[in-house]
Amino acid sequence: MRMKPFVFILVLFAGLPGGLWAQAAGGVAPVDFKGHLIGEGVADFLRMEPEAQQEVDVCRQHPSRHNCDRLMAALNGNGRAEVSTTGAINFVLDGGKLVKLTMLVDKPMDVAASDLRDKFGPQTKATMLSSQNGEGAKWINWLHTWDTPAIYASIYQDNNPSLQDHRLLLIVESHAEHVLDDLDSSKQQTSLATTTDPKN
């Protein structure tokens, strides 16, 4: 459950205007997080992430470059790409939109959970997860989740005593992405854009 660093920057967000304002009009207000909105489009995402824009520019000039095919597919709305920048946030773009962001949080769980309650409202669930290693050592991990009309968010605390890095893992994602995560336990690079009939 730890965030893997990516050695390349892939990127894309799909514009906020259409989809998100339609959501807001329907009573679901978009939630700004680190300057981004889950569901935003490519132009908005690139405006906020200049490193990603640079990578896009390089891929347009050199489309045969490693991983540029995935990036360009995500840009064109028919693929999926994972994006990492020096801002220590990993992004997932699918079908031309931002569907997920993941980051490490260097705060105590109670402080981080309080911050998220201020942002997303009361948490939906807090789960205590008992763990044990092969040597018999036992500890408790914590998972706090927010299931809101606009997004699904979770923050996870891994208290394994053998780990040196105990920062919290925060995930904010769309509901469709969360369902995809649940269904795809192997975490294969499946794209919602490729599994949805474009006529629907």
Residue 26 banded pLDDT, cuts 50, 70, 90: very low
In a domain, 200, yes or no: no
Q: Tens digits of per-residue pLDDT, 143-175?
A: 999 999 889 999 999 999 999 999 999 999 999
Task: Give the residue carrying structure tokens 């992430």.
Answer: 49
Q: What is the mean pLDDT of residues 28-52?
A: 85
Q: Give the least confident one: 19-28, 110-119, 128-137.
A: 19-28
Q: What DSSP designation does 99 have?
A: E
Rounded average pLDDT over 172-188: 78
pTM: predicted TM-score of the whole model, two decimal places: 0.74
Within-domain flag for 2? no
Closest CA to 9 of 64, 47, 46, 39: 46
pLDDT at 10: 37
Residue 33 is part of which domain span?
A: 17-195
Comparing 10-14, 157-161, 196-200, which segment has the lowest mean pLDDT? 10-14
Domain presence at residue 6: no
Q: Write the pLDDT tens digit of every residue in 68-103.
A: 998 888 888 888 999 888 878 899 999 899 999 999
Q: What does the pLDDT read at residue 1?
A: 46
CA atoms within 13 A on the CB side of 117: 12
Q: Is residue 12 part of a domain?
A: no
Query: Based on the structure, what is the number of domains in the chain?
Result: 1
Average pLDDT of the chain to the nearest whole number = 79
The closest alpha carbon to 155, from 98, 114, 97, belongs to 114
What one-character DSSP code corresponds to residue 41? B
Q: Which two tokens stand for residue 129?
A: 């997860």
Do the domain assignments include residue 68?
Answer: yes
